Amino acid sequence: MSERVDDDGHDHHEHDDHHLGVAVVTVSSSRTLDDDPSGDRIASLLTDEGHEVAVRELIADEYDSVQGTVGRLVDREDVDLVVTTGGTGVTPDDVTVEAVEPLFDKQLPGFGELFRRLSQEEIGTRAIATRTMAGVDEGVLVCCLPGSEAAVRLGVAEIIVPEAPHLVGLARRSD
Element (H, E) at 45: helix 37-48
The DSSP bridge partners found for residue 22 are 53, 81
Our measurement of the distance from residue 116's CA atom to the centroid of its chain's CA atoms, rounded to an integer in Å, reads 14
Maximum Cα–Cα distance across the chain: 54
CB 54: neighbour CB atoms within 10 A? 18
pTM of the model: 0.90
Q: How far apart are CA 7 and CA 138, in angstroms?
A: 31
Q: Give ∠ CA 22-27-30 in degrees, rounded to 5.
A: 135
Mean pLDDT (the chain) is 91
* 87-124: pLDDT as tens digits: 999 999 999 999 999 999 999 999 999 999 999 999 99
The DSSP bridge partners found for residue 56 are 24
Instruction: Provide the pLDDT for residue 2.
Output: 39
What amino acid occupies position 75? D
* 115-142: pLDDT as tens digits: 999 999 999 999 999 999 999 999 999 9
Higher pLDDT, 166 or 17: 166
Distances (CA, A) of 50 to 46, 74, 114, 140, 173: 7, 20, 24, 18, 21
Q: Is 14 helix (H, G, I), strand (E, B) or coil?
A: coil
Domains with residue ranges and CATH for the chain: 21-171 (3.40.980.10)
Whether 175 shows a pLDDT value over 50: the answer reads no
Handedness of CA 87, 93, 97, 102 (dihedral sign): negative
Q: Is 106 helix (H, G, I), strand (E, B) or coil?
A: strand
Q: How far apart are CA 43 and CA 45, in angstroms?
A: 6
